[in-house]
Structure 1
């Protein structure tokens, strides 16, 4: 964004040294960071000892950030303000109070666990059930309604969150992923994978209950004679339970638990696979899905939440979320279908790769710049008709016009 605009970023000093080291190596006169902390007498959270940010700290930090933002606006006169984190409807922002167009998102958090699948959550089921009840009430929360109604545009990561935002009074909600793909991760061309047996089916993620790896294990167990091998990359509390489950089902020899794979090793792992399976029962989207698509892998996933909103229908097989038994059966059928046809895998893999190209960071920045300019223009020309409803911007093209560069008259963005 700083290639086009003058950008001020308001953030916590937790990563200050890393940020300043980067700016020292990559000077950018259009990019400025302002660090805001909460006084220790109000909040004793120490990021050096505990990486988890408490909701109380975030509320206090938001108030401190609003105070600093108001002071800066009086000096600089921003053209637009954009709140990007936390990206959840559960913690609405306060920066809408500045007298400029306010952009919020990408924001998720509105997705809930399908009721029939709560048994997979184990001891966490009750807490997730309480969360689901809270999500049904959240559109009526005053602080959310104020933020939603004062937003020029809100970006949602799935239809479920978009619906909550509309119920809360948002006038313009657009679908926009909360993650992008690095250009060095994106292949120049999707590989044409040759026929081979066994088919390598890849699952990537933290081994947590809501990621629901057991669905993939149960589906594989139904394919008694299919030449399919499941590779599991990730660590977490459920590893031993999943290994025991595979042994009980008699398929331990068809599943390989790789543990945590370093990020720099992930591109090679994706390229070594033939297809990708994503079984999360509650996720805004899943960055690993986009990484798999960038590697030209066909996607097998549950047809809900972020996957339903963003994965193109021709880029894989999206399985309806019904009762667990039916869903597992359809996952097994999807794996079998993918395994039988290398041409189908290559065709779906190319469609997946084509979508991933639209989510490279330069393309996402260009699309966001277009939305900024729309919001600013709408504020300057209020009689123009504003969009309503949930707008689909999954493959937004770049806006017209070049970068502003170092220009005193460039649009001033506050993030």
Structure 2
């Protein structure tokens, strides 16, 4: 059986040392960041060591927007050792997603997303019934809420990195509209209920051969709630060719310190906290590049003017990635004020540029940023957190030697997070999963045989699986 127009000749070159991996990356794009970059970076780097068949459904703003992958292949040719298999949403998925696509009722996306995963599992069953596949990896998005149906297929399964189990932080006393506060409380409540009631999540976690958590907080939640022992691996890393030599002038006290903040202007990213922090910073010799757009842009601009910070802050809104990277190379300190994250892409971009990060001490920032390469501030209430962050920024502005030392530390710490090392880490996981599976089942992982679905799902086998 042949699927897709982008068949690679890598199948004939595959050896026992090159795992043949069926990878599900719902969101993937060569030109976007965040979850899209998770999928693309993993595929482009692991293709050196594995033969990948990639099931995907999003390479643009909405489910079924696949043009960015298709355009990239037309322009640059096939990615070596990779076969992309688009899963286009069926009529039911499109119907369910229509209110979300129109911006009317965004939560209908999750219903459409479940249907899409059903489609993906059917295609996966057909592939493993007719081809050699050594293991399945459900990669992204990194949220746990949709466990897919791949766990029902009788192949070694890796799931993760998994995130989004941890409640979004709320700082007591934050001067925010009641709707914003209520939305976070409702989201956290829904998260707790889903964790407690989702049988499919429990089945998938029990069935997976290896579980990977995106942050230590999520690893703790998985261990406590579901009695599994996950590995801890961040969902993204730093491309080796993006690393810049350290050449900052942080030690020069004769110019303002250049601060940078990157993110969507929404309550989760907390630009309001950022502005209140900067108003409380005592040394005034700083400037800020604030990059991002969103619902709070006008509010943030008005608040900056109200606080008398307008002449120090440059609002860049949405700018090309190359311009963001240039501003990072010119920055002295990267600031994160988010209330909820996995591992934000801005960490890797800042580290690649040799820029230290000041962040609240939670989420993935807790695992990546250390005293050598940045500053972590323990969140308390709103006022206490504001004052603590402001004091840390002020101390760095006044002591440029310490700021310069942190920048030097970035060049040391980032070596742990290079894709050249991360891809080999994943390769080791793949080989370990296959070895355990062979030991347990006494057969080759890649043998194309009857496709059995485990208890709790429908059970197509043999010829029936081939007709799905």
The TM-score bracket by the shorter chain reads: 0.7 to 0.9
Q: Secondary structure of the residue that 1:314 maps to in structure 2?
A: coil
Deviation at 1:296, TM superposition (A): 1.1
In the alignment, the residues of structure 1 paired with residue 93 and residue 319 of structure 2 have an alpha-carbon distance, to the nearest angstrom, of 40
- Residues 8-407 of structure 1 aligned to structure 2 (within 5 Å): 8-12=53-57, 14=64, 16-23=66-73, 25-28=76-79, 30-41=81-92, 43-44=94-95, 45=97, 54-117=109-172, 119=174, 122=177, 123-140=179-196, 141-169=198-226, 171-189=228-246, 191=248, 193-196=250-253, 197-382=255-440
C-alpha contact (below 8 Å) 1:87/1:107 kept by paired residues: yes
Distance 1:63 1:338, change over 3 A: same
The 8 Å contact of residues 108 and 157 in structure 1, kept in 2 or not, is answered as yes
**Equivalent pair of 2:259/2:332 in contact (CA under 8 Å):** yes
Deviations 1:13-59 (A, max 9, x none): 73555434544533456322222233315643479x76988111110
CA change 1:121–1:150 in 2 (3 A) is farther
Aligned to 1:6: 51
Q: How many residues are paired up? A: 387
Query: What SS does the corresponding residue of 1:374 show, helix, strand or coil?
Result: helix
Q: Which has the higher contact order (CA 8 A, sep 6+)?
A: 1
Higher alpha-carbon deviation: 66-75 or 373-382: 373-382
Q: TM-score, normalised by structure 2?
A: 0.75
CA distance in 1, matches of 2:71, 2:314: 40
Question: TM-score, with normalisation over the residues of structure 1?
Answer: 0.84
1:292: Cα distance to partner? 1.0
Alpha-carbon distance between aligned partners in 1 of 2:128 and 2:412, rounded to the nearest angstrom: 41
Q: Which deviates more from structure 2 when the two are superposed, residues 191-200 or residues 69-78?
A: 191-200
CA distance in structure 1 between the partners assigned to 2:238 and 2:357 by the alignment: 16
CA separation in 2, counterparts of 1:221 and 1:21?
Answer: 46
In the alignment, the residues of structure 2 paired with residue 410 and residue 378 of structure 1 have an alpha-carbon distance, to the nearest angstrom, of: 10
Once residues 130 and 173 of structure 2 are traced to their aligned partners in structure 1, the CA distance between those partners, rounded to angstroms, is 52
1:326-375 per-residue CA deviation (whole Å, 9 max, x = no partner) reads: 11111011101211222222221222233334333333222111111111
CA distance in 1, matches of 2:80, 2:340: 41
Cα distance in 2 for partners of 1:66, 1:9 equals 12
Q: For the aligned residues, what is the CA RMSD?
A: 2.8
**Which ranges of structure 2 fall in alignment gaps of 5 or more residues?**
1-45, 59-63, 448-468
Displacement of 1:325 in angstroms is 0.9
Q: 2:70, 2:257 → 1: CA distance?
A: 46
Distance 1:240 1:27, change over 3 A: closer
Alpha-carbon distance in 2 for matches of 1:411, 1:360: 30
